[in-house]
Structures are given as C-alpha cells and as structure tokens.
Structure 1
Amino acid sequence: MTSFRIGRQGEPAPAKTIRFSFDGKDVTGLEGDTIASALLANDIAIVGRSFKYHRPRGVWGAGVEEPNAIVDIDMPSAVRNARATTTPALDGMVVRSVNAHPTAATDRHAFLDRFARFIPSAFYYKTFMWPDWHWFEPNIRKMAGLGILDPTAISVERADQVNEECDLLVIGGGPAGLFAARTASEKGKKVIICDDGFHFGGSLLHRQANIDGGDGPAWIAATLNVLRDRGVQLLARTTAFGLYDHGLVALNEIRPGKASSRLWRVRPTNVLLATGAIERPLPFANNDLPGVMSAEAGLSYLRRHGIAVGRRVVLATNNGVGVETSRELADAGIEVTLVDYRSGRRLMVAEGSKRVAGVKLSDGTRVAADAVLVSGGFTPTLHLFGQAKGKLRWDDDLLTFVAGDPVPRLSAGGAAAGSFGLTGVFESTARALASFGLTPRAMPKIVGRDTDYGIVAAWPEPNMSGRVWIDLQHDVTTKDIELAARENFVSVEHLKRYTTLGMATDQGKTSNLNGLALMAQLTEKAIPEVGTTTYRPPFTPVPFTSLAGVTSGSLMNPPRRLVLENEHFAAGANLREYGGWLRPAWYGAEPEATAINREVRQARDSVALFDASPLGKIEVLGPQAAEFMDFVYYNTMSTLKAGRCRYGFMLSESGIVYDDGVLVRLEENRFIVSCSSSHVPGVYALLEEWRQDRFDRKRLFIHNTTADTATLTVSGPKSRALLEAVGLGIDLGDKNLPHMATAWGSFGDDTVRISRVSFTGDRSYEISIRADRAKHLWKTLRRRGEAFNATLLGLEALMVLRAEKGFIVIGKDSDGMTRPMDLGASAPLAKKTAEFIGKRSLFTEEAQRPDRNQLVGLEVVDGTQPFAIGSHGVESTPAGKRSLGYVTSSYFSATLNRPIALGLIERGAARHGEEIDVQHLGQIRRARLVPPCVFDPSGDRLNG
C-alpha cells in the first residue's frame, strides 16, 4: 500500500496545515481530515493490531463501519477506543494505537499469531480450566480489551441533554434523508434530520451525480438552504444510536470544539430511516492485510480528502456499484485493475507480509498492487429497525436482508431500503413517506446513467484455503465458524458468542452476513433459515459523559432542602443527607461525638428543638378513608377517634414491613399519614396504587402535603413550659391534650396543628405550620428556649434518644425479611378481621417460623466500646460458626453512660438475659440479650 495526497476533488481544501502524533510519530494533515485520512495521507499502513492474534491491521472503511482503526486519544482530551475514521484530526492531538505494545508497527505481542492454530475460537473455555482458571485470569484480563483506561483522566466538561419532539425524525443526511426532510417540511411538518458525518450529503459527497440539472454538491447546498429557511433542525455529526420503548430515539451529537457530546432524547411522531448501507468484505486468503479496503471507502478518501489509497489498485467486486467505483477511480487518474466476479474471475489470496504487495486470481494470474479495494455487496443499515422489534426479510435479488413487515411510525428509504441507484433511492423514499401520509410535490430528476446493482453471490465457502477472515475486529476466520458448526453451535446466537462474531463495537456491521452465509452452507440451509442476531443499542459506542449529562453528583439525585436551612446554618449546624434530605446532623464547632453527647444530655434534662419537617404528611380524605386506612395498615385504624393518633405498620404484599409511623385522625373522613422521611414518595405511590386498584376514586382522595407544611418538634421535661411561654392558644395540659392526641392552636395569625407524639420517649409536641411561616415560629422557640436551657437537636442525637427507647428505624432496624411479628407486633395478626395488604403472607410457613430473627437490645458485656453496626451474633457448630443475626443500631448513650445496641437475633424475644458471641472482622465480643427499651421502660417520662 502506498497512499498519498493528490489534492481534494470534492470538498474545498482549506490551506491550514495541522500536526499531531500517532504512536510517537509526527503526522501532517489538513484541517478537515479525520485521523484515518491523515494517516493514509502520510502512508501509515498499520494503524492497529487485531484483538486476539495481534495481526497488523490497516484502515478498512471511512465511517462507523470501521473495524480496525480504533485509537486512544490523550490530548486535547482523553478519549478511549475512538474510531479514527469518524474522529477529526486536530492540531496537537496525541493519538496511539490500541491493543499494541509499544506501537502498532512494532507490537511485541505479534508472536501470538504464530500460535493461532492452537488458540481457535473458544480455546480459553477448554485450555484454562485445569488446574484452576484463577491462575490464568489476571494475565488474560490484562491482555483483554482494546483501549487503556486512564483512571486519572477527568472530564472537565459535562454533556448537555436535550428533550425534543417533532413530526418527522429523519435519520441519515444523504440524498434519501435530504429529500425526505424537504418533502415533510414543505407540508409544514416539524422536522429534525441528523447524520453521523461531518457534512450532510452522504454518497453525493463522493459519487458523481446530476440531479435537477446540477451536480451533487449543488443539489445538497440548494436543499440545505431550503431546509434552513423552513426551520428544519439540522444535526450533523449526530448518531441515532438507539430506538427505545414508546418511540424514544436517542441521538449523540459530537459538537465541534467541545470536549463533551450532547444527548438528544427525541420523541417523533414518525421516523424515516435513511441510514444507507454498509459495504461487505469479500472472502479470500489474507483478506485482512493492511491495504485491503472497502471500495466505497477508497472512493470516499479520494473525493472528500484528495487521498489516493494506492498507486496500483486492484478493485474486486461482485456488483455493479463496485464496477462504477472502479470507473470513478480510473477517471481520477488511479491505475485500476478490475476483477469482476460476474465475469468469472475471483480473488484467491492477497500477497504481502505487513502490507499488500499483490494478489493472486482464480485463473492463476498474479497482479502487483499496493492496495486492494473490495465490494462484496451492500447490507442495509437496519439496526434501529431491529431495535424497534422489526423483522428482517431476505431478498434473493439483492442477496441481503431488508426490512420486513412494517413497524408502526417507522419506515426506511434509500439504500436502507435496498435501493442502490439514485433513481431507486428517491422512489423508495417517496414510498416510505407515503406511509406517513406525505407525498412529494415533485420527484428529483436524475440526468445520465444510473447504477445497475446486478449482484452475484460471493460468499465464503467451507474448506477455503489459507486464512480467510470474516470478522476483522475479533479475528474470526472461516475455520472458526467451521469449528463452531462441528461442535453444534449452529444457532446464530450461539455462533456469535462461541466465536465472538459481530460482537462489541462492531455489532456485525461488516461481518455478520458473511458469517451467516458460511453457517448456512455448513448446515445445508438457506441463509434466511439460519436467522439473524439481535441488534441492540447503541449502534455505535456512546461516551459515558453523554449518557450522564449534567445529572451527576448532587444533580443525579438532588437532596431536598429544609425551609429553615439558612437558620440551621446560622446556628452552626453540620448538615448531612438523610433519606434524601439535607438535615442537621449536630450543632456547634466541637467534635462530633462531644456535640452529640451534649445534645442528648440536654434533651433529657431540659428541652430540645428539632426540625422534623421531612416527616411525611399525606392527607387521605373521603367517605372510604377509614376503610382504606384499615386496608393499608397492619393495625386496625378505623376505631381511632377524631383528634387522636395511633402508631402502625404498612406492609408490602409479601408481608414485609415497608414503613412505620403515626396516623392522625383529624375528622371522621380525614386522616394524615405521617410516614418516614425517606419513604414519603414510596408510601404516596403505594396509597395511590391501592386507591385506584380497589377503591372508589370518587369517594377517596389523597394529597401529599409534606412540602407545604413544616413540623417543629419540642421534646423534653420542659417542653410544655416552653410552649406555654410561647403561647399557642391552647391548653397543653394532659387532660386537654394527652399523649397521642392532636388539636388545633394558633401562633399569631397562623393556625397550627399540635400533636403529642414522641420519638425520644420524653414528653414531646410536634407543631405543624405553613412552611413559609415556619421561620418566625422557629426563632421564637429558640429565643424563649434560652430561659429553659434549650438545645438544638441534630439527627445523630435523635438516633441515640430513640434507640434508648427501643424505637426502630425502618430499613435500619429491619431488612427485606422483617415482618411485624419479628418487631414484637403480633396482636393485630390475631385480632384484626379486616383484609389488609400482606395479610395472607403472614400466615405462610416462612412467616410463622419460630426461629426467625427478632428485635432485641444488646448489652455490651466486655468493655466500654459500642458494637460495630453489622456485627453478627454467632454460635459454634460442628461445621463452624453460624450467624444468629446482626447488630442493626449501636451507639454510646450519654444518658446511661454506656453503649447500647439493637439487633435482629434468632428467637431474640424469648432469649432475654442470654449471652452470645458477637463477631466483627474476626474479633469476638460478648453481648447480653435484653429488651429493646433500656431507658424509662414504664413510659413515665411521656407525661413528665
């Protein structure tokens, strides 16, 4: 191969010269070059090494079909496994080949090819099982893969994400796509057209044509002007890589001068596939040598970049498009020897070591050549059609698969529909548009000779001499497919996985059909009987930054913020995320443990102020509200009186505890579900699901008012005195407002709801007020609280206070197996007669096992350090240690001046007083099982 630049004949050639490095070698190109075209212009034949055998490989194609020219880019930004054929060459770029050490030209692993006969497809399944796969795994994994990931490389520019909709999305900007966009836009339709190339035009950028009295570039320019005037959105360098459920099409746009891509999520009414077709290789020995290239690519490099891929070129073809290509190359002054399979002659072997030196033909003739261009026919690019669950149909005249039965709102035109001449391109596109109710006003007029496809079969055959490559990217030969057939891997999906044919980034673009054709002959079937593999997105690799967009870090799952966040900051709060909310963990500049202990002691001795606004406040209203509450709660709730509260569990259908909390009954037909802060969305969804499934939606209504209302908690022995000093317009005495009661009061001009519920075990009041009025109430509580030695209470101290009382946190002191009986709540199961969610599951053998893990307290027997959360209770058995459960919560209690813990331990409720071993990271400690509540078990302080 002797490639060189002869001057551009298609696109204008800017004078600016660019320089970059490839494998440490200086490369000179012109602005507008791809990496591949610049390498060809500098006569760099070996651009990479094959995946398994490390054979030298050169540029094969000119677009996304390229299987060989995969490169890593280190500057100006780190990009891995980029296709050199679709990546623009930039000044100062640092490029290196993949799967080559140290360079593609001097790869030290090239010796592997000498052992090819011993390492056919799936050899690793048979070779490395004895004596132990793990002996070989590290080195195999080290050699696997293509590009080398740099863990220190950080993308500094995040990708944009755009949501859009349109009447027609045209995928492909060649003649078919441009014609379709023009037709739809003239009907007043909103149109988006995308193309993965640098410029719109497709094959007209490198093939001669006369349309409507002008050449191809003139027709392209005129059509684009019309589309711009009509407001059509033109997206160049944009690949439609996936077609998903509900008509969503995902596009990846590479933006000039930007380090990141842009992700488009488009929901079109109709989609036209004008995606073209991919030229297939021809099978002959050594058909992977550098210098063997797609004929279409050879013409593209000549017309678009002014590069001749060789001085003496052999062009082998089995179709009329390839013959036309040979004429265009010859007209440009390239010496071309045509081998037309339709006349009987065929290629048998490419000769040369590291690049093409000549070919041998079927009639014994040897032809000296420095490049071999091949055209084995065209395969319509129907990956997106397959992703839309479209089925392919075999066409005996075209010798390829085409789109089968129509898919609603999706159609193909041009080469994607099997039309390889310009007249057929426009006619098939018109038919596709007609399926959407769009008829062009006039058809483009083609002047001159049109292409006659006229293809003959040139499939790989069994027992071909030499090494005939089917999949260039994965080193799959005809012999590998024959081996798969002998070992009965004849299903196309088995063949794909056994041989790696058409896997990874290639997705079968150049290899699939030749592989299927050979398997058909080996199994004595027709090609369509063998079937096709499943096309899956993405069509081409998509940068992770594009998929992530800006939704990373806090933007991926933004924490919810308290309306009083600024007040907490001003008070010295240290904020952490709890259940999706950014909340105070503790207050003050002192060490965390010191601050938590101080807050715990003050809360027990005087009074604590706590922002409980994230607690769920979901209102349930209507004549069926009480019946609904009985159904969604494990406990009976319909007997609750107005103005009273009751603690209860919600279960999943499998009887697992989903959430707990206090239910407030304001009126006969009005309840407030106070659920865990982190479970509000889930509980709301659960309530709404069962309302729609089982109840009358005209007699039951649900409103999530969590964000509308702030809840401020005042807890401790002096809580009543503090609230009386504040003045809430209500008698706070035990007779008027006993524990687990609720009433309406006032603060200034605002109505407030006051509930006597406690998560600390002390007398507590929850005051609910309009969120936008909470600031004044909070400041008043703080100012009045100074006289009572009030403390601000962070969530860490609250966790200690609740653990001292044995109060649980769902998801922390329960797991995916915990049922309410495991937490000591067995009475409702025995007494409740009404149906409720999960009831049936509580009577299963599993739910009734006597050896289930149950909630207990764990007292430290040895030492003064708390147990590690997650430590396992263990017992010794003849087979070794066995887990008895684990520690769920563990703290140092400043109230008791000792460690406390909760856990789920096997048969724990019946084993109070028993000592067990507790193991963590190999260390064994001793614990005594005790009741969960270790502070004020009589509950006297609730009314203190």
Structure 2
Amino acid sequence: MSAPGPARQPHRLGSGGHIDRSRTLSFRFDGCSLTGHPGDTLASALLANGVRLVARSFKYHRPRGIQGEGAEDPSGLVALGRGDRHEPNTRATLTTLTDGLVARSQNRWPSLRWDAAALTAVASAFMPAGFYYKTFITPPQVWPLAGPILRRMAGMGRSPTAPDPDRYEHRTAHCDVLVVGAGPAGLMAAQAAARCGARVILADERAWMGGCLLKEKTRLDGRPGTAWVADALEELASRDDRVTLLPATTVTGQHDHGFWLAADRIYDRPDAPAAGEGPRQRLWHIRATQTVLATGAIERPLVFAGNDRAGVMLAGAARAFVNQYGVTPGRRAVVFTSHDEGYRTVFDLRGAGIEVVAVVDPRPEVRGPLPDRARAVGVRVLDGHVIGDTRGHPTRGLEGVALHRYHDGGMVPVGEWIEADLLAMSGGWSPTLHLHAQTGARPVWDDDLLAFRPDPWRMPPWMAGGCAGTRGLDAVLRQGLEAGRNAVEAAGLRLTGAPPPVPAIDRDEPSEVGEGTPQAPLWAVPKPAMAGGKRFVDIQDDVTAEDIALAHQEGFATVEHLKRYTALGMGTDQGKTSNVNGLALLAEARGEPIPMVGTTTFRVPYTPITMGALAGESVGPRFAPVRRSPMHEAQAEAGAVFQTVGPWLRPRYFPRDGETLAEAVRREVLATRANVGMVDVSFLGKIDIQGPDAAEFLNRVYINGWKSLPVGRVRYGLMLREDGMALDDGTCARLAEDHVAMTTTTANAGRVMAHLEHALQVHWPDLDVRLVSTTDAWAAVAIAGPKSRQLLDLVTDLDVSNEALPFMGLTVGPVCGLPARVFRISFSGELAYEINVPAGYGDALWRRLTQAGAALGLVPYGSEALGVMRIEKGHVAGAELDGRTTPHDLGLGRMVSTKKSFIGKRLLQRPALQDPDRPALVGLVPEDGRTAIPAGSQLIATEHAAEAVPIPMLGHVSSACSGPSVGHPVALGFLKGGLARWEGQTVVAAYPLKGTQVRARVVPPHFHDPDGSRQNA
C-alpha cells in the first residue's frame, strides 16, 4: 500500500510500548516521508505508518513484509543511506530509527510495487530447485548468456562503488566472564558475576537490553518486567570499572581459547552519535576466561500454502510490536499455533484493540489454562483445524485465510474463508544453537521441544535460558544466576558478595509451558488441491516444501546437499526460521526420524558483518602502511624517485637534469664502478641471534657449515624450506661466540623470522637461542666502487685496509662520528662496505657520507642500479629465489654440506631434485650484441623458433638488464641441463605476449669481474 503522509502513524497505539512519543523522528522509505519515535526500529516505524510491503524475495521476486522482529526475520531486508553511505541487506528489525534515516527497498525494478522480475512467478512451475543447473548446462554457449541475467535477477542488494566516508574500528578487550545475550537469563548471569568482582562484558544484539521482558506483559516482584530490567542495568552500569555493556552488539563468532568476535553497531545504539561523528561500527576482539551463552530461542513459522504474504507474521513478533513498540500490525487477526504458548498472542493483541477472530490449532480437543482462557473471553478456538491457503492483494498483503479440518495428517475443506489482515503463527521455539555449535558440537533432538538443543552431556557448562532448551521464566532466571556464579568460579575467582535475588513472577497466565495439551509436530500443512499459494519453508530464498521433496527425489538427500541444491538456509538469515522445518520435511521424505538427518554446519558469522567493520581502520594508507628508511628525508632532498617495494618506500633512482630512468641508472652504475656509489640497504631484513647454541642453530637452518665461522667474520648462507626448495639467502656476521647478526632479503624478512621461530619452538626447543627482529633498529648504507676505501678512510679512524678488514670481514667502531658496525660485503661485485648505525643516526650518516664523498665523485644510487649491478655480477635474488629452485639449480650445489643435517636436506635428495637435466642458472647475451632480452621470456631451441605453438620450453629468463658495465644487454635464466649442456650454444628467448624472439648465446652467469679481483681489492 502507499505510504501515508509524514504526520500520520495510523497503526500507532496511543499509549504503551517503550517509545518516546514526546519526540518525533522523520525518515524516508522509497522516497516517502514518514515519522516515528525514539525507541522504534525501522520495522516498527514502517508498520506504524501502515507500510506492509518492504521487500522482494530472492528467486521469484514475491512481495514480502515483516515476518519477525529481530535477527531471525528472513524478509525485511532494506538498503540504508544513499550515495557513498549506501549499505545494502540491512535488517529493518535491527535498525534503530534515527532522525533523517533514508532507507530503500531492494531486489526490485522499477519499483517495489511493480517489479518486472515478479513475472517469473508465472513460470515458477518450470523453475523448481536447481533448474538453472539443468536448463542452462547445455549447450555450453548458453550459460555465458544466461548466467549474468540470472545473477542480476537473483541478487539481493547492490554494493556501493564509492569509498565509504564513515569510520570503523577494532577494539581488543579481556574479561573474566563474557555474557552473550541480555535477556532475563543474561542479566541474572551478569549481575551474579559482577557482584563477585569479575570483569564482565554483557553484549546483546538489540539496541535495548532486556530480551523477552521488553516484549511480554510480564510482572516481576509486583512490578512490570521492564522495571526489573532497568534496575539490573543500572546496577551493572554503576560498576563501569568492571562491567562493560555493549548494546546493539552481535557476538558473531566463537573461536579457540575463549576468543570471540562481536560487531558493535554504534549508530544503532539509543545514544548513537550523529552521522559522521565517531566510528559507525566497531569490531570487538574479546578474550574471555569463561562465557555464558544466554542467546534465547527462535520462534518457528508454520508451513502452509500462501504463508509468505505480507501480514503473515510470527506470533512472538506480533506481541513484540504491540508491547514494545506500541504498534498494531493489523486490525483483524487470526492466530495459527501448534502449542499453548501461542495463545498468549491472543490476549496481547486484544489488549491493543486488535480483533482476534479465531485461533486455529491443529491439535484435537485442545485443553489447558491458556486455551480455556481464550474461550472464556469469547475467542473462537478452532482446534483440529489448520489454515490451508491465504488470499490477498500482491502489494496490500493478507486479506483472508482458508480454514480446513485436520486429522491424522489429512485435511477436509471446511469451505470457510476468514477475513483477516494479520495472521500470527507459531510452530514452537528452537534454541539458538549457533554460537554453541560453531565449535563443532553436535546438537541433539528433543522430542518435547520438537527442536534441536545442546547435548546435555557435552553442552558447555555455562548456557542459560532458551538457548539451553529451558522453558518457563522462573527456570530461566534461576539458570542464569547459576550459570553466572559457575562461570566466576571456573574463572578462578571467589564467590564473594550476595547473589542477586531471583524475582518472583506475577503473571495472569501460567508461567510454565507444558501445563496443557502437548505441542503438535506440524512441519507442513498439506496443500489443498485448489490452493493457489506455494508452501514456503525458506521465505527469503523461495524454497518450498515441494523443492525439498524434489531434492530428495533427485538424490540430494543429505542435509548439506539439500542446502546447496535448494539454497535452503543460505540467505542472510542462514535459515534461522527455516532450518528445522526443512530438516523435518527431509526426514519425512527419507522415512527416517529427524535425529538421523542431523543439521547443517553452523559457521561464523552468526549474522552478517559489514565489510567496513571487518576492515576496521585498515583502509587507505592504513591498509598497507608504508615504511620509510631513516634516510628518507635526505634522499628526497637529493631528488630521489621512490617506488613501493613490499612495505617499503625505496629510492628507485636519482635523476639529474631531466634524465630518464634508463639514463639515470646507466650513469649511477658507471659512476659507481668508476669511482664510488652509495645505496640505502636499511630495507634488508635483520635478525639478532643470541645464545650459546647460536652457531649450532645456524648449522641446522643453512645448507653450509657455521660452527667454524670465527668471531669477526661474515659468511654467506642459503636456507631451504622443508621440501628442499630455496627459501632465502643472506649473510650472518659473528659478533661474538654467542652473538650473530643475520641479514635476509627484503621480501622474505617476515617469512624467515617466522621460519626460524617455528624451528626453535617446534623442532629444537632444547637449543638455548633467542631471536629478535632488528630490521627497524638499524640504518644501513652500502658504499661500493674502487674509491670506497678512500671514502671510508675520510670518515673513520678504523683500519679498513685489505689486511685488517678482508672480504667478508667486519669491524666495530665510529664512522662519521657515529657508533657503527662495518661489514666488508659486496652485492655489486665492487670493493664495497656496508655500514650499520642505530636507526636514529641514519639521516646523519647519509648526509655526512654525501658531504665527505663529494670530492671523490660519490653518487647515490637506487634499487634499479643495485639490481643492474647484481645481474652483471651474477648474484641470485628474488626472481631466482622464486620457491621453485634448489641450490643445484642456482649453481650453489657445492655449498651443500654432506657432513651435517639441516632443514630441507632429506627432501633435497629426492631423485627429481638431483636430476642433472633440471633447469639450472645460466647467463645469456644477445647474439647481435644489442637487442635486449626481456625478463620472463621462454627459452626454446633455435630449430623450433619458427614452429607454431605449442613449442617445447627449455627454460625461462628470470632477470635481465642493459649491462652498461659490459657494453651489451645481459640476462640470467634457467635452462634444462644448465651450462654443462648449453654453454656456448644459441637458444631463442621468445616473448609470446609481444611476439618477439631474441637469439641469445649461453654463457656463465658472471658477466662482470668473474674472478672477483675487484671485490677483493
């Protein structure tokens, strides 16, 4: 129906409910201006304004109204906000009404009232469960055409494309007792724990804590139940140093060792900040010593023809809208229930002025306090009857129900239609098992509840209330008290302080369930021959009772297969209202009891979480924070062009006078090889290793020996993964007998640290060794070139002569007046030194070296020139250490020790890794002396160069550069058989993506200074 004007709320009661009628809030739904009050949810405000149609279903695009009043509601999904604040698939029942809120229906076109995709209902007979698998599978050309259309029709909301302007955050908390659910059981548990001095977190998915006490006309200790709730919350709030209250916070997942995730919808709280102020949502990471689950129970719908019309609602939801929100969800009601508790709805609806025409009950000769009371007040009780069909307008909702006599599973038409615009139904209550079952615990079937419940023998000890299968408010309160005190004791705390008193229940109707006729196991009302409506089991995903029967007929007879074939329980509600009915119908089709069928897997999250909450503050620059060298400012002043390499912002090159990248790199390389160059190597991973067993530890993680390394010397090493493949290479400097400084490649710094820690903690916990990452603790500069010793002599009194500090040696002392470690290491193939100073001195070191080296022609160079010089020298690096190479492939086979064991040795000895025909490292030069060899090229034999693909591949090019030092392009690559087979021969480097082929001669990989005379000068 059309939405009324902003001043009208035709379905709002004049009094009652927990809303503030003194204030009016304006909001918009599908462009219509409406009003509500503080205390409303979007769902209650829509119903108060007479808006019954709010959404369209997933598959058939059928009109849908509000069916539940909380997280269980399968149909009231809307999109909130607009523009870059658009949030799809949000439950109207959990969305707190705020002034200026904008909501829209979704999954419809062009409008909610007139949805073109609803025409699919005409062809629904040809669209049973799984029809898309069978209809569009052949010919194969059909699916690429049909797939996008089906996805467009079946999708729910549309994700926004603009960046979200709101802020989200994560928070970590620890507590002694986490209480999930703030209903009567949860409040009692939290009070009991708090009075013992425990640190307590109480979380509830609703904005207003109190659970069923807000929705029912219950009196405790002679006062309304809401007054007891207010007192309990006031007591807990007064202990704010030990108690944290989290309203509008859904605990979505249970993980190992007491770790829980909770999504806090801050903007849904009663005291929510204005839009744009503070975080919109917060994801809590809670570590709890003990937990009390008090998550309640979920009411089940009944399955009958036409049960999806707007106006068909869960009985508990109808009571909640009346009692908590002061809203009449209809004018003329029928109650359809299979158990006595459903009769409570009769009295609450009548108290709100709603005419209750009849109670339809499938049980014959129903007797008990509640049914008898209903008869006494003049309500027509039709026991032994069911509703076989409904009728109504597609957009206006329910207008009437068809009555049938019911006996032993069969139906006889009565021929009577009852006019009604509200049908309140109840098929019983199912414990909310989700958080309990996320650990893999299997629930058990309870014949009294007609539902799955936690296994009483394997149930976590601290579950209370409806989620534990407990019925009756008095028992729920007592169980909550007991669970809270037991949790405190299990957390290792003393039971101090007086426990909170259990309030006395004062209600007109009986408090205990089961005093009347037992509940009837009515899983689906048989469909009358003339009924026009479908019997929906899953309202959101349009799964019918007939779909379940078809799935069984076609062999999808296990619960997991049924779920995926029909989409039962796969929507945003994850089958909260549909699963038990669906499993019961599957069991009936299989001819087995329901426990034999079992349940589907309960997975995290319990309800959907926004992507923003999952990301928190890790967005934009915070998603991958950029790390800068201590010399960054000085390098920027020198004109460096930076590039992101992993997490680091590194200088790529230092252009002068408008130089291109190639020109600058050529100049930097030639100047370094002729005079002296300086490069920042702070980005290398650094790990400090200390302990008496440090050398033994290195011996076990590297392929070469380390026990003989003397103090004051450096050694190159290669470490393997457990599968025998190269993990990383680097150097280790022995500073003392029990102290080693290790370097790793930039890319593998974190991976190597994790590898070493795992080895110490898991493989060799007996070794007395300690590790710490010191990458950020040291700034490092490498100076290279024939004049590097001259430069060092200008800035230090240390003896850096070849005799005092030979290649792969180290010394410690002041450099440029700064405390430093000096290593004689060369990555460029030149005479070179690496200077390490504490990170705080990095900028001063760079500037002082720059000043002192000006007379020697010092040039700074970046990562491009560094890479060119290492390729010219033939050093392997990232492109060669790609996780697929062994020491033999890299030409480092002679390093592999045969006298000791090390990680990866056993699997390195596999025949396939020892095969001499494996691709091994070679050098490549273009045959014409000038054509560049692209990195990534495939290496093929010359005789195959002109053949059509596929062509046998002999290897690939891993790294390449222009080779300014040697006067022609050079490359490193891997060829089957390596130099032993190909040296001096010609191969073709083919690059299919660009259609190029370069003839290249195979040579040893050391192009520059192959005998090492320059680095050893």
Is TM (by shorter chain) over 0.5?
yes
Amino acid in structure 2 at the alignment position of 1:351: R
Q: Does 1:358 align with 2:391?
A: no
Alpha carbons 1:571, 1:588 under 8 Å: kept: no
Report the Cα offset of residue 677 of structure 1: 2.7
**Distance of aligned partners of 1:461 and 1:85 in 2 relative to their CA distance in 1, 3 Å threshold:** closer
Alpha carbons 1:417, 1:428 under 8 Å: kept: no
Instruction: Find the partner of 1:110 among 112, 115, 118.
Output: 118
Q: Does 1:513 align with 2:573?
A: no
Q: Distance in 2 between matches of 1:558 and 1:187?
A: 44
Paired residue for 1:754?
A: 822
Which residues in structure 2 correspond to 1:342-421 (within 5 Å)? 342=363, 343-354=383-394, 355-363=397-405, 364=414, 365-405=416-456, 411-421=462-472
Report the Cα offset of residue 524 of structure 1: 1.7
Alpha carbons 1:414, 1:425 under 8 Å: kept: yes
Instruction: Find the partner of 1:271 among 291, 313, 323.
Output: 291
Q: Does 1:262 align with 2:282?
A: yes
The range that moved more, 371-380 or 394-403, is 394-403
Which residues in structure 2 correspond to 1:809-888 (within 5 Å)? 809-810=877-878, 812-829=879-896, 832-861=898-927, 866-874=932-940, 876=944, 880-888=950-958
Alpha carbons 1:321, 1:452 under 8 Å: kept: no
RMSD of the alignment, in Å?
Answer: 2.5
**Distance of aligned partners of 1:529 and 1:332 in 2 relative to their CA distance in 1, 3 Å threshold:** same
Deviations 1:887-930 (A, max 9, x none): 32233333345433222333343323312141141412214133
Q: Distance in 1 between matches of 2:793 and 2:995?
A: 52
**Distance of aligned partners of 1:462 and 1:289 in 2 relative to their CA distance in 1, 3 Å threshold:** closer
Paired residue for 1:182?
A: 191
Report the Cα offset of residue 277 of structure 1: 1.3
Q: Distance in 2 between matches of 1:68 and 1:694?
A: 54
Q: Helix, strand or coil for the counterpart of 1:95?
A: strand
Report the Cα offset of residue 215 of structure 1: 0.7
Q: Helix, strand or coil for the counterpart of 1:307?
A: coil
Which residues in structure 2 correspond to 1:195-210 (within 5 Å)? 195-210=204-219
The range that moved more, 279-288 or 732-741, is 732-741
Deviations 1:763-791 (A, max 9, x none): 00112333334444333221110110101
Paired residue for 2:988?
A: 916
Q: Does 1:713 align with 2:785?
A: no
Paired residue for 1:786?
A: 854
Q: Helix, strand or coil for the counterpart of 1:305?
A: coil
Q: Distance in 1 between matches of 2:290 and 2:786?
A: 68
Gaps of 5+ in 2: 3-9, 267-271, 364-382, 406-413, 490-494
Q: Does 1:578 align with 2:645?
A: yes
Report the Cα offset of residue 612 of structure 1: 1.9
Alpha carbons 1:650, 1:657 under 8 Å: kept: yes
Paired residue for 1:166?
A: 175
Alpha carbons 1:391, 1:405 under 8 Å: kept: no
Report the Cα offset of residue 79 of structure 1: 0.4
Q: Distance in 1 between matches of 2:299 and 2:788?
A: 81
Q: Distance in 1 between matches of 2:459 and 2:391?
A: 50
Q: Distance in 1 between matches of 2:66 and 2:588?
A: 30
Q: Distance in 2 between matches of 1:270 and 1:695?
A: 34
How many residue pairs align between the two structures?
940
**Distance of aligned partners of 1:568 and 1:225 in 2 relative to their CA distance in 1, 3 Å threshold:** same
TM-score by length of 1: 0.95
**Distance of aligned partners of 1:671 and 1:42 in 2 relative to their CA distance in 1, 3 Å threshold:** closer
Amino acid in structure 1 at the alignment position of 2:906: R
The range that moved more, 132-141 or 292-301, is 132-141
Report the Cα offset of residue 265 of structure 1: 0.9
Q: Distance in 2 between matches of 1:66 and 1:569?
A: 58
Report the Cα offset of residue 329 of structure 1: 0.8
Paired residue for 1:229?
A: 238
Report the Cα offset of residue 183 of structure 1: 1.6
Q: Distance in 1 between matches of 2:711 and 2:999?
A: 44
Gaps of 5+ in 1: none
The range that moved more, 341-350 or 533-542, is 341-350
Paired residue for 2:535?
A: 468
Which residues in structure 2 correspond to 1:554-593 (within 5 Å)? 554-588=621-655, 590=658, 591-593=660-662
Report the Cα offset of residue 835 of structure 1: 1.4
Q: Does 1:137 align with 2:147?
A: yes
Amino acid in structure 2 at the alignment position of 1:511: S
Report the Cα offset of residue 603 of structure 1: 1.0
Q: Distance in 1 between matches of 2:260 and 2:90?
A: 23
Instruction: Find the partner of 1:499 among 552, 566, 571.
Output: 566
Paired residue for 2:70?
A: 63
Alpha carbons 2:697, 2:767 under 8 Å: kept: no
**Distance of aligned partners of 1:119 and 1:644 in 2 relative to their CA distance in 1, 3 Å threshold:** same
Q: Distance in 2 between matches of 1:73 and 1:798?
A: 53
Paired residue for 2:380?
A: none
Paired residue for 1:238?
A: 249
Which residues in structure 2 correspond to 1:647-686 (within 5 Å)? 647-686=716-755
Instruction: Find the partner of 1:736 among 804, 808, 833.
Output: 804
Deviations 1:727-777 (A, max 9, x none): 3321x2222222222233433765533222100111001123333344443
Deviations 1:226-257 (A, max 9, x none): 11112221111111111112211111111123
Alpha carbons 1:321, 1:453 under 8 Å: kept: yes
Paired residue for 1:429?
A: 480
Q: Does 1:84 align with 2:92?
A: yes
Instruction: Find the partner of 2:501 among 439, 442, 454.
Output: 442
Amino acid in structure 2 at the alignment position of 1:907: G
Alpha carbons 2:117, 2:153 under 8 Å: kept: no
Amino acid in structure 1 at the alignment position of 2:223: G
Q: Helix, strand or coil for the counterpart of 1:724?
A: helix
Which residues in structure 2 correspond to 1:324-335 (within 5 Å)? 324-335=344-355
Q: Distance in 1 between matches of 2:963 and 2:304?
A: 80
Q: Helix, strand or coil for the counterpart of 1:183?
A: helix
Paired residue for 2:369?
A: none
Q: Helix, strand or coil for the counterpart of 2:990?
A: strand
Q: Distance in 1 between matches of 2:765 and 2:950?
A: 57
Paired residue for 1:128?
A: 136
Q: Helix, strand or coil for the counterpart of 1:10?
A: coil
Amino acid in structure 2 at the alignment position of 1:316: F
Alpha carbons 2:781, 2:835 under 8 Å: kept: yes
Paired residue for 1:939?
A: 1012
Alpha carbons 1:312, 1:334 under 8 Å: kept: yes
Report the Cα offset of residue 91 of structure 1: 4.1
Report the Cα offset of residue 378 of structure 1: 0.9
Q: Distance in 1 between matches of 2:928 and 2:36?
A: 75
Report the Cα offset of residue 806 of structure 1: 1.3
Q: Distance in 2 between matches of 1:514 and 1:695?
A: 54
Q: Distance in 2 between matches of 1:688 and 1:47?
A: 56
The range that moved more, 708-717 or 632-641, is 632-641
Q: Distance in 1 between matches of 2:929 and 2:34?
A: 71
Instruction: Find the partner of 2:613 among 543, 546, 549.
Output: 546
**Distance of aligned partners of 1:748 and 1:21 in 2 relative to their CA distance in 1, 3 Å threshold:** closer
**Distance of aligned partners of 1:140 and 1:860 in 2 relative to their CA distance in 1, 3 Å threshold:** farther
Amino acid in structure 1 at the alignment position of 2:1015: L
Paired residue for 2:6?
A: none
Q: Distance in 1 between matches of 2:524 and 2:823?
A: 83
Alpha carbons 2:923, 2:973 under 8 Å: kept: yes
Q: Does 1:724 align with 2:793?
A: yes
TM-score by length of 2: 0.88
